[in-house]
Structure 1
């Protein structure tokens, strides 16, 4: 990264701030020139905004974006809600085999409204949206319900909610349904194990950083009940497949070929459901954004956002 004066450094990182949005408070941070094209990153289930690695955000900012990342409701430093019991295996089975929907205190549509509320507070009319996993589902919901607010959509390792998509691997499902850790040490161990499973391969650069990432996540605060409510929101929201056919926003879908949590068919289904969507399958990528894949991912997002801009100017 180039060192330099804050005024000219395109990767300037502003400290976390709180914003009122959709009746709650969201913790957010920005990277890059405040006057650059805004790009919002939406993270996945139970994942704090810092899972968009600082350097990943800086590299995107260096491409000429004002990068905004935030903690979804019920995670990190954003508002914590209440209600909703821990999800049971029986409910999961009822949903899977009997199609009986799960009850939830809120849905993905509410989380989409959170993001739009954050844009309102920041005075942003429209953005490039990039969502990972559950964040991709939220980004899809924004493109469906608030099309005028989205310049381009990038959905990473996500799915349409189509029940025909194959389920997670048994190992990845166990990670999802594991009881909350009881101590800091147990959390740090669990974090390490979880990412080994989700990355579906060995990535030494990431593994070297995992301990620090885990400590930072723990220090910002855990909310196991909130993660449960987010999972309920996903399961209660059903399929977006039919509604995605109405999306006119230029869309890019990125998915790993060895994703153990959201089957690669989920990415393919997303791309097939949105008219004109481009699909990029990344070899050896699991359910994570490993450092060796950043150049390919950042290039794809950058090219997509800039071609979307060129098309709207014609």
Structure 2
């Protein structure tokens, strides 16, 4: 069941898995992606490992507040953005307030990894451990390949069927070449996301936030919570340099890379990824270790 929470002056849609008394784990999705892009089985498996899992729609996607009045920003160097990744991190902190979570383990993918990084920098006392997957400390580190860039800037779909077809085309480019593409699941989720809210302008505002937020390397250098960085060695959308730079910037961070993994979470890697996510939660902070 999707619930709504007031956060940072907007409304955030979310749902949860597992028992409220278990370890809090906040999942943050990527550019233009909704909470439904977190596979339910993935969430259930995390819950089975003792987590109270919450996934949510970022601002401008899904059932959360869309800042339609902000219009469509220009994606050019130096252009103003309606908001920054730090504002989206404040959304996450506000959601944690609504949930009654003083702090949580935080896992973000792609843009969600950037938001997780910004949350850890801006609200370090709220982040028990940080897991950044297929992400980067800044928009100039690990940039997309030309093919991935073309997929990213696919024209808006005029209808549901085209949106589903576009999703299949995009994931054929940015997904994991070393693993079989789950076309049925991709099509199902793309249709569900279209039905919940299809807003290309919202995705453009999120992209403007990424471009305008600059580089987080300096801020990451001050983090002390346990940190895990995961990246696919075949990721064409955020190339592996982004993951390596993220891990190098965070004191004591663990870096895991996977051959054949692209810009998604292949089902055969779930157990190993979850093992790593659970393990990092039990590590001492960099401050304690030092």
Which TM-score band (shorter chain)? over 0.9
The separation in 1 between residues aligned to 2:176 and 2:130, in whole angstroms, is 26
Whether 2:59 is the aligned partner of 1:73: answer yes
Question: Does the aligned pair in 2 maintain the 1:108–1:237 contact within 8 Å?
Answer: yes
Residues 97-140 of structure 1 show CA distances to partners (whole Å, capped at 9, x for unaligned) of: xxxx2310000010000000000111110000000000111111
Which consecutive residues of structure 1, in runs of 5 or more, have no partner in the other structure? 1-14, 96-100
Which consecutive residues of structure 2, in runs of 5 or more, have no partner in the other structure? none
Residues 28-83 of structure 1 show CA distances to partners (whole Å, capped at 9, x for unaligned) of: 00000111010000000000011110000000000000000000000001001032
The separation in 1 between residues aligned to 2:191 and 2:179, in whole angstroms, is 19
Question: Does the aligned pair in 2 maintain the 1:119–1:125 contact within 8 Å?
Answer: yes
Picking from 156, 159, 176, the partner of 2:133 is 156
The separation in 1 between residues aligned to 2:139 and 2:189, in whole angstroms, is 32
What's the TM-score once normalised by structure 1's chain length? 0.87
Which runs of structure 2 are paired with 1:114-263 in the superposition (5 Å)? 114-161=91-138, 163=140, 165-201=141-177, 203-204=179-180, 206-263=182-239
The separation in 1 between residues aligned to 2:238 and 2:186, in whole angstroms, is 22
Distance 1:67 1:179, change over 3 A: same
The separation in 1 between residues aligned to 2:264 and 2:162, in whole angstroms, is 21
Which moves more between the two structures, 106-115 or 76-85? Answer: 76-85
Give how far 1:292 is off.
Answer: 1.5
Distance 1:84 1:305, change over 3 A: same
What count of residue pairs does the alignment treat as equivalent? 286
Question: Does the aligned pair in 2 maintain the 1:84–1:104 contact within 8 Å?
Answer: no
Give how far 1:208 is off.
Answer: 3.0
The separation in 2 between residues aligned to 1:159 and 1:77, in whole angstroms, is 27
The separation in 1 between residues aligned to 2:107 and 2:266, in whole angstroms, is 16
The separation in 2 between residues aligned to 1:129 and 1:166, in whole angstroms, is 22
Query: CA RMSD for the aligned pairs?
Result: 1.6
What's the TM-score once normalised by structure 2's chain length? 0.95
Larger Rg: 1
The separation in 2 between residues aligned to 1:202 and 1:151, in whole angstroms, is 33
Give how far 1:218 is off.
Answer: 1.4
SS in 1 for 2:79: coil
Question: Does the aligned pair in 1 maintain the 2:178–2:261 contact within 8 Å?
Answer: no
Which runs of structure 2 are paired with 1:16-55 in the superposition (5 Å)? 16-55=2-41
The separation in 2 between residues aligned to 1:211 and 1:262, in whole angstroms, is 23
Find the counterpart in structure 2 of residue 98 from structure 1. none
SS in 2 for 1:252: strand
Question: Does the aligned pair in 2 maintain the 1:206–1:291 contact within 8 Å?
Answer: no
